[in-house]
Amino acid sequence: MSNITNMTALDQSQAIAEGQLSAAELMQATLAQIETVNPQVNAIVSLRDADVLMAEARAADAAPRKGWMHGIPLAVKDLANAKGLPTSMGNPMFAETIAPKDDLVVARMRAAGAIIIGKTNTPEWGLGSHTFNPVHGATRNPYDLARSAGGSSGGAAVALATRMLSVADGSDMMGSLRNPGAWNNVYGFRPTYGRVPSEPMGDNFLHQLSTLGPMARTPRDLAALLDVQSGADPRQPHGARYDLTLGPIDAPVAGRRIGWLGDWGGAFAMEAGLLAQSEAALPELEALGLTVEHVAPPFAAEAIWDSWITLRSWAIAGGLSVFYNDPAKRDQLKPEAIWEIERGLALSAMDVHRASVIRSDWFKACARLFERYDALMLPTTQLYPFPVEWTYPQEIAGQGMDTYHRWMQSVTPVGLLGVPCINIPMELSAAGLPAGLSLFGPRDSDAALMQLGQAWHQAYRYAERCPPVA
């Protein structure tokens, strides 16, 4: 690993702007790091030709500066379209499908100066927080190559941790920016729903579970990328306020109140040691001048879960049933996708209505909590990275998992509401494995959460530790 690839994205940007580093030197160092590390972890896929990338970097050096990302290498999550690159979504049907144009968020990052070098690996269709698929294989955790990297932004998180990228994009329906952030010792941010618009395809009114967002090794880089990605799309109805988050990121946080939800009163099965490790971080938060209080479960966890899996299956069926309805294509869907689609197709309109009423009631209950607390907090995951050959965990602490995603239940209270959430890295476990804490706040509190992340990072700098593979 070179000193160049270990720099933060904003430091790389400043060095290029001041003439201390060229985009060509950064690209050369990036490609060298990928050549050394990627064969071990399989995080970056569909890498473009090195000579072409070097030519683009030299062209960036000769061109007027576009934005803070000018000359920064970026690999895009393989669920998003980047012009000229395949968008496989981890499924063989699309392995050779070349995107004719950039998705909106990719176009925004390219317009800010990013050089798109390839894609980052993801689970098939982005389903399941474990990055493996029949097109590109499994992505491995750089803290233990025998373990999962998480997902669905697993390739992005690993590329950051191993210094192959300095900043990365991702997406999050069920923890996909937060889980891999926790498991790879980096920051992941789920924005307020509507702040970072996806493509205006299909229904744009009803399905409000998934969002795009940034990942980085520092909150400042996280905020800078979020500011690039943010902004209303007039073709879509659910735009959110998008005040800049980088400018105010160093605001003082002393005096703010945090509500600790822990394992939701025992409702979330936790691997041995993880809850204790999480609670050991509470005094570290208090040392920042924050008040941390234990909060009793504010809503029935099972009701949130029932609402979540109903609305999730409904949304997935809306997007993937076109493949299910074609017998030739149905055979190329993984079992978890078929399970989701069949559940979604079996729902009645009143089933969906009841699930949305539960979501509405939970939103109101959460709003009452935010009258007292600036943010609420949970462990980001319910277990440490599991063996990479597993499809998903069958049990946690002796409690059986009744679905392929029940082990991710702790992320659903946030995802159901569309509120912003940041994963912050913690100290490594006794076995040397990463974990994280998730802080979430009311809608449009993105900047306030970035400030909490920045205060944490400035004090503890856990994300600066390199994994064994880097």
% of residues, the chain, pLDDT over 90 = 98
pLDDT at 243: 87
Measured in whole angstroms, how far is the alpha carbon of residue 373 from the centre of its chain? 24
Q: Give the integer Cα–Cα distance in Å for 241 and 247.
A: 16
Given a cut of 90, whether residue 252 has pLDDT beyond it is yes
Per-residue pLDDT, averaged over 204-223, amounts to: 97
pLDDT at 1: 78
Domain membership of residue 81 (yes or no) is yes
Per-residue pLDDT, averaged over 316-331, amounts to: 95
DSSP assignment of 376-444 equals: EEEES-SSPPPBTT-SS-SEETTEEPSSTTGGGGGGHHHHTTT--EEEEE-PPPTTS---EEEEE-STT
DSSP assignment of 225-256 equals: HHHHH----TT-S-------SSTTTT---TT-
pLDDT at 428: 97
pLDDT at 208: 94
Domain membership of residue 342 (yes or no) is no
Output phi, psi for 467, to 5 deg: -75, 170
Ramachandran quadrant class, 47 (left: phi over 0; alpha: psi -120 to 50; beta: rest): beta
pLDDT at 250: 98
% of residues, the chain, pLDDT over 70 = 100
Lowest mean pLDDT among 80-94, 239-253, 315-329: 239-253
Domain membership of residue 455 (yes or no) is yes
Lowest mean pLDDT among 6-15, 111-120, 198-207, 397-406: 198-207
Domain membership of residue 134 (yes or no) is yes
Domain membership of residue 17 (yes or no) is yes
pLDDT at 37: 98
Task: Say if residues 113 and 9 touch (Cβ distance below 8 Å).
Answer: no
Mean model confidence pLDDT for the chain: 97
Output phi, psi for 273, to 5 deg: 95, -25
Band the pLDDT of 218: cuts 50, 70, 90. Answer: very high
pLDDT at 221: 98
The pLDDT tens digits for 382-397 are 999 999 999 999 999 9
The pLDDT tens digits for 419-444 are 999 999 999 999 999 999 999 999 99
pLDDT at 459: 98
Domain membership of residue 99 (yes or no) is yes
Q: Is the bond preceding residue 152 a cis peptide, omega within 30 degrees? A: yes
Per-residue pLDDT, averaged over 338-358, amounts to: 98
CATH of the domain at 173: 3.90.1300.10
The pLDDT tens digits for 404-423 are 999 999 999 999 999 999 99
pLDDT at 410: 98
Number of domains in the chain: 1
Domain membership of residue 344 (yes or no) is no
Domain membership of residue 249 (yes or no) is yes
Give the residue numbers spanning the domain of 375.
9-305+350-464
Given a cut of 80, whether residue 241 has pLDDT beyond it is no
pLDDT at 2: 87
pTM: 0.98
Three-state secondary-structure class, residue 299: coil
Q: Give the integer Cα–Cα distance in Å for 420 and 447.
A: 10
